[in-house]
Amino acid sequence: MTSESPDELGAHVSAEGGVPNAPARAAAIGAAVLQLFTKQPSRWAEPEIDDETARAFAAARREHGIDVAGAHDSYLINLSSPDRRLWRMSQRSFEAELRRCTTLGLDFLVTHPGNATDGDPEAGIERNAKGVTESLTAVDGPTRVLLELTAGSGTSVGATFENLRGIIDRIPEEQRGRVGVCFDTCHGYSAGYDLVCDYEGVWTRFDEIIGLARLGLIHLNDSKHPLGSRKDRHETIGEGTLGTEPFKKLMTDERLRSVPKILETPKGDEPVQSDRANLALLRRLRADG
């Protein structure tokens, strides 16, 4: 395998002009793995994916050799909200997200657990599990829901492995097999998981509490802020407080070799060049390891 060969690495790419355009954008950065938005993430409008769009996406995925494709849900969704109206809006929106993913044949849907604005995280965990369960019950299909580890700012739910396991445990067994976890390196470090000084300890704890079998995706992002800052600000690989060493360990960790890994790093004015540079660095770290 050369440093330019497609592997388990990819990036969040634009779906501007329609989701069938995304596979070509992934191919342009030398990736066979992609993440996208199936709609504008800052709007409640829920477009449907028609058969023609689904066929065009599938054809583009085959043409460009995309092995793994998934989506991230809307930033507006808050399945941990105590506000009944907002919770129901969020559940309906999440269900629509899942339906679009299923129509497109996507492998995963990443979701932030949301915020328990009443200050009761346990109740937020219950509400989140209920929303995910209702959506999975309503929408059958191959798409796996991945709960994303959060940075833990404010009333955020999901900044601990225990929070994520709590949500999973409250989802009925019939749907639980379709639920996994997305580990974001920036979020994890900001939440207090020390990937710099205690890399092995972090993954040992993850395996003990959640189980590596439930790890469906890793978001590879450096952080602008220090360990335990509770701030979610992504940085270019090697240019933040994590530095390159944790990413070298991630790239050479055989336990994680088959887990898809997605960049969500700042793209600047030249997104293709930025993504290619970050991917090239990660591949060099693996080759040098």
Task: Summarize pLDDT for 170-216 with one digit per residue, the tens.
Answer: 999 999 999 999 999 999 999 999 999 999 999 999 999 999 999 99
- What's the distance, CA 105 to chain centroid? 17
Task: Please state the separation of Cα 193 from the chain's center in Å.
Answer: 17
Q: Domain boundaries in the chain?
A: 9-288
Q: What is the pLDDT of residue 2?
A: 42
Give backbone dihedrals phi and psi of 263, rounded to 5 degrees, phi first: -80, 135
How much is the pLDDT for 6? Answer: 75
Three-state SS string across 203-250, please? HHHHHHHCCHHHEEEEEECEECCCCCCCCCCEECCCCCCCCCHHHHHH
| Topology (CATH) of 9-288 | TIM Barrel (3.20.20)
Q: What are 37-52's pLDDT values in tens digits? A: 999 999 999 999 999 9
Distances (CA, A) of 78 to 5, 194, 207, 249: 38, 27, 27, 33
Helix axes 84-104, 121-138, angle to 10 degrees: 40
pLDDT at 4: 54
| pLDDT per residue of the chain (289 residues) written in tens, 0 to 9 | 444 567 999 999 999 999 999 999 999 999 999 999 999 999 999 999 999 999 999 999 999 999 999 999 999 999 999 999 999 999 999 999 999 999 999 999 999 999 999 999 999 999 999 999 999 999 999 999 999 999 999 999 999 999 999 999 999 999 999 999 999 999 999 999 999 999 999 999 999 999 999 999 999 999 999 999 999 999 999 999 999 999 999 999 999 999 999 999 999 999 999 999 999 999 999 999 8
What was the pLDDT predicted at 3? 45
Q: Does residue 111 sit in helix, strand or coil?
A: strand
